[in-house]
Structure 1
Amino acid sequence: MEHEELKRQVNERIEERTEGMVKLLGSLVDKETVIGNEGPGQEVVIDKFEKMSLEPDVWIPDVDDLREHEGFFETQPYQEVGYEDRPNVVATIKGEGDGPTLALSGHMDVVPVTDSEWDYDPFSMTQKGDRLYGRGTGDMKGGLTACIHAIDCLRDLGIELQGDIYLQSTLEEEDGGVGGILSVLMRGYLPDGAIIAEPKGVPNMGMASAGVRYFKLTVHGKSAHVGYGFEGINALDKAMRLYEALRELDAERKARIDYEPAYRKDPRMRGHETNLNIGMIEAAEWPAIIPGEVELTGRLGWPPGEEPEDVMAELEATIAGVTESDEWLSDHPPELEFFGLQADPHETDPNEELLQVAMRNAEWITGHEGVFYGGSGGNDTRYYKRYYDIPAMSLGPEPNNIHGANEYVTLPSLIETAQSIACTAIDYCGVAET
């Protein structure tokens, strides 16, 4: 393997300085950076970059500029709090030659803690053996910390690369990443390749993401007192006709659509590459009322291979079919609204140089065979590949209970992630002559 002895030195240094990586992760977990409140965590990153003698670029996303991009949509956090006090942070490590530029990225936001079953304070990291507990240790402050630690150790050894490194901490990935990765790309950070350290369980790597749309279907009836129900039209009855039709559409799509990368890692995913789910049903606010209006709120997800307009058209056609067959609905048609998260699918060819280099190094470090997989969920890598044709992948530590109670990351997988990233940077960017 090229640069093998140098990479062994780097891997040893990463292990020797593990305590510093754990300390940094703990400092990040201590900051309650629930999406919309990323600022306090970004201050920790800024301080770390400055201690590394780096000059961070810190900026607030410009929503007017973002609106000009085809991938723009208004995220819920933006609608609620805007972008004030929510900066992105990027540090550039200039290369000594003309090697490829590599972006290493992680998001600062975490999902809220709504589960009371935590055994530990979710916003104060707790170490139990090789497990590091806390909100965001897995998704994805652990991966972000591994990126920073990898580059810190390269610099500590005096290793200079031929290509530039963009070390990035971004916003609101959990709701689509518009103010985060999209803002970073529009600011001009356009690398030759990108790694987002999402928790995939090194050496496994993400190479695709799903299309996602949230939708709300409002069904109209006629409200009445239940004792005089004959005077009303139960909107819930009408909504259930639509609900059953959507269930049938979901089953038909599941039987029709096959995307092998989605189930490479977990065979149970086969047959579930696409999904149409109603997650919320809201009707009347009193049991003695015939509901006059019902809202069905759902998520439509699909793997690469279909364009958004085609998938949404199937949903619209199904709703139209039920509407046309019902006398009341024909005169009082339901209203379909797409809102919130708008992720389009993407796929990066696993034969791209960056992905092959990363896989070779991750397998060498872990001693295990990895797989390229993805396509069942949305993530930020789509911005690189779909809109800028930049090869992008996810490579990160072993996740456990992310978004749930007692979220944790394993320390060995954090170390292996940092080592994989450092070794990939050496091979992909090239080592400057000394």
Structure 2
Amino acid sequence: MNASSTRERVCQSIADREERLLETLERLVAAKSVTGNEPVGQRVMLAEFDRLGLAVDTWEPDPEALADHPGYFRTSSYDEHGYEGRENAVATVPGAGDGPTLALSGHIDVVPADPESAWEGDPWTLRRDGDRVYGRGVSDMKGGLAAMLLVVETLQAEGIELAGDLYVQSTIEEEAGGVGGVLSALERGYVPDAAIVPEPFGLPNVGIASAGVMFFDVAVPGKKAHAAWGHQGVSAFDKACLVNRALGDLNDDRQARIDFPPAYGADPDLEGHVTNINVGVVEGGDWPASVPAEVTLKGRVGWPPGESRADVREEIEGTIAAAAADDEWLAENPPTVEWVGWNAAPHEVPRDADIVATVERNAERICGDAGTYVGGNAALDERFFQRYYDVPVVTAGPYGPNLHGVDEYTTVTSLLETAQTLACSAIGYCGVAE
């Protein structure tokens, strides 16, 4: 049987297993695996791996072993929950030849569904309305995990043995940075020749990049005084506004001069906004009748491939220092900048990598439409593969227009197309054993 007829048979077999896909997704959605509580979701994945007869490796991340890695940072989920009991899981489908190894990698954690009262239904119960399915994680990315499982089941049912090994990964804490997840899996030895991550980038679009993301705190000092003698004090809030204005000006300047077309390949509205500086939290003061002595601005900077983390830090710190130098109080009492939490570098995959061409070709054939290269506006686990292990990786997943939002949804059609694309790409990349 030739390759074309094998792909057609697999695609039809996947389409015939629509109910199996939705049954698996229903169980995954019901598992409230918000970051930090991944074990409830991993139990579903482990049960599926067992049903498929796969050999599985599970382990808790070891932060001490990861601490010297250039991609490591201490995540908020580790600070809050630790890693005890939060296991990663990798199932291996052994190849029957000497073909290259491929990883299908997905994260089991999801963001909270708050406010749950705003959802039309229970966010932890899969709800179908025509072609749409709703529930927390249906697109980001339990739909992708369900598609990965369906790929393995279909290849087994059709008696197709890949020539190379297939790693099927379910990892933790992607939403907090992925350090204890994909990075831990790579350090454990699961380094494939290529990888596909079915994040909701909307096939036939193919993701080839991710953004750098860093969090920072700016402590802006003032001088405390009773409000009745406020002229004797210095409002840290007023001074923080000066710093915030300078960051806003820097943001406008960066957005005017930094471009990365894949970041708006699937969303033209992002053109001109491929980098961003956002102050999301302001903390300070202790009493309405007191001039605040300190205000802290908590911010995030995101940027596409093209700058290093050191470059971005230097620009932000220099902007804050320049703003302080122009103010009499801040010149003598300068703000301090601390880089905390998220510390992810961007990545970009060469367009000519074999896995890029393989996924692109299969996605366009299956979806019946031309896609585009996308990515570079959000941080992704994919960076660990490409930046630190030279493993080409693509993002290829379902439709997901409101991931992280209320009434998160995707479509059954796009989930089936995701499974079909993953299966055909595995066949094309790993080869089929004779």
Q: Normalising by structure 1, report the TM-score.
A: 0.98
Distance in 2 separating the partners of 1:45 and 1:228:
63
Superposed, 1:388-403 pairs within 5 Å as 388-403=389-404
Report the Cα distance in structure 2 between the residues aligned to 1:322 and 1:19, rounded to whole angstroms.
Answer: 59
Aligned match of 2:247: 246
**Contact 1:210/1:344 (8 A) holds in 2:** yes
Task: Name the counterpart of 2:344.
Answer: 343
Q: Give the Cα separation in 1 of the matches to 2:258 and 2:2.
A: 41
How do residues 193-342 of structure 1 correspond to structure 2 at under 5 angstroms?
A: 193-342=194-343
Name the amino acid aligned to 1:32: K
Deviation at 1:126, TM superposition (A): 1.3
Return the offset for 1:325: 2.1
Q: Determine whether 1:415 maps to 2:416.
A: yes
Cα deviation, 1:334-373, whole Å, max 9, x if unaligned, reads 1111111111011001221111011111111110101111
CA distance in 2, matches of 1:225, 1:124: 53
**Which segment is superposed worse, 180-189 or 13-22?**
13-22
CA distance in 1 between counterparts of 2:11 and 2:334 reads 63
Q: Which segments of 5 or more consecutive residues in structure 1 lack a partner in the other structure?
A: none
Deviation at 1:280, TM superposition (A): 1.3
| Letter in structure 1 aligned against 2:172 | L
Matches of 2:118 and 2:133 in 1, distance apart? 17
**Deviation readout 1:358-404 (Å, 9 max, x if unpaired):** 11111111101011111111000000000011100110010032111
Q: Aligned equivalents of 1:322 and 1:417: distance in 2?
A: 49
Code of the aligned partner of 1:264 = G
Is the partner of 2:36 in helix, strand or coil? coil
Cα distance per residue 1:261-315 (max 9 Å; x no partner): 2122222211111111111112324332221111111101111011110111000
Structure 1 residues 76-127: Cα deviation after superposition (integer angstroms, max 9, x where no partner): 1101110111110001111111111000011000001222310110111112
Secondary structure at the residue paired with 2:369? Answer: coil
What is aligned with 2:189? 188
Which residue pairs with 1:106 in the alignment? 106
Partner of 2:169: 168
Asked whether the equivalents of residues 10 and 422 of structure 1 are also in contact (C-alpha less than 8 Å), the reply is: yes
AA at the equivalent of 1:325: D
Deviation at 1:129, TM superposition (A): 1.7
Cα offset for 1:72? 0.7
For the pair 1:19 / 2:3, whether they are aligned, the reply is no
Give the Cα separation in 2 of the matches to 1:235 and 1:48. 55
Per the TM alignment, residue 2 of structure 1 is displaced from its structure 2 partner at its CA by 6.6
- Give CA-to-partner distance per residue, 1:48-93, whole Å, 9 cap, x none: 1111011111111111111121111111110111011111000111
CA contact (8 A) 1:2 1:427 kept: no
1:54 lines up with 2:85 in the alignment: no
Secondary structure of residue in 2 paired with 1:106: strand
Matched with 2:360 is 359
Distance (Å, rounded) in 2 between the aligned partners of 1:105 and 1:94:
16
Shift of 1:21: 1.0
Give the partner amino acid of 1:363: E
Q: Residues 123-144 of structure 1: CA distance to partner in whole angstroms, max 9, x if unpaired?
A: 1111222111111011000011
Q: Which amino acid aligns with 1:278?
A: V
Could you tell me how far apart the structure 2 residues matched to 1:42 and 1:18 are? 22
Alpha-carbon distance in 2 for matches of 1:2, 1:222: 78
Contact 1:104 1:195 in 2 (8 A): yes
Q: What's 2:139 paired with?
A: 138
* Matched residue type, 1:418: A
Instruction: Write the distance in 1 (CA, Å) between the matches of 2:425 and 2:237.
Output: 55
For residue 16 of structure 1, report the CA deviation from its aligned partner.
Answer: 1.0
For 1:122 and 1:88, locate their aligned partners in 2 and report how far apart those are by CA, in whole Å.
24
- What RMSD, in angstroms, separates the aligned Cα atoms of the two structures? 1.2
Q: Which secondary structure state, in structure 1, belongs to the residue aligned with residue 103 of structure 2?
A: strand
Instruction: Give 1:18 deviation, angstroms.
Output: 1.2
Aligned-residue offset at 1:159:
0.1
* SS, match of residue 315 in structure 1: helix
Q: Which runs of 5+ in 2 are unaligned?
A: none
Which SS does the other structure have where 2:365 is aligned?
A: helix
CA distance in 1, matches of 2:288, 2:150: 57
Q: Distance in 1 between matches of 2:294 and 2:114?
A: 29
1 CA distance for matches of 2:2 and 2:303? 39
Q: TM-score, normalised by structure 2?
A: 0.98
State the distance in 2 between where 1:400 and 1:144 align: 18
Q: Offset of 1:17 from its aligned partner?
A: 1.2
- Amino acid in the other structure paired with 2:187: M
**SS of residue paired to 1:402:** coil
Secondary structure class of the residue paired with 2:340: strand
Partner Cα separation in structure 1 for residue 323 and residue 162 of structure 2:
61
Post-superposition shift, 1:155? 1.1
In the aligned structure 1, how far is the partner of 2:134 from the partner of 2:262?
30
Instruction: Write the letter of the residue equivalent to 1:188.
Output: G
- Partner of 2:118, secondary structure, is coil
Distance 1:409 1:2 in 2: 33
Counterpart residue identity of residue 22, structure 1: L
Equivalent in the alignment of 1:6: 6
Matched pairs, number:
433
What's the secondary structure of 1:56's corresponding residue? strand
SS in 1 for 2:180: helix
Q: Which residue is 2:376 aligned to?
A: 375
Task: Return the alpha-carbon distance in structure 2 between the equivalents of residues 396 and 17 of structure 1.
Answer: 18
Output the CA distance in 2 between the equivalents of 1:382 and 1:2.
Answer: 35
- Output one character per residue of 1:157-189: Cα deviation in whole Å (capped at 9) or x when no partner: 110011110000000100110000000000000
Kindly provide the amino acid, as one letter, of the partner of residue 397 in structure 1: P
Using the TM superposition, give the Cα deviation of residue 227 of structure 1 relative to its aligned residue in structure 2, in angstroms. Answer: 1.6
| d(CA) in 2 for partners of 1:6, 1:275 | 46
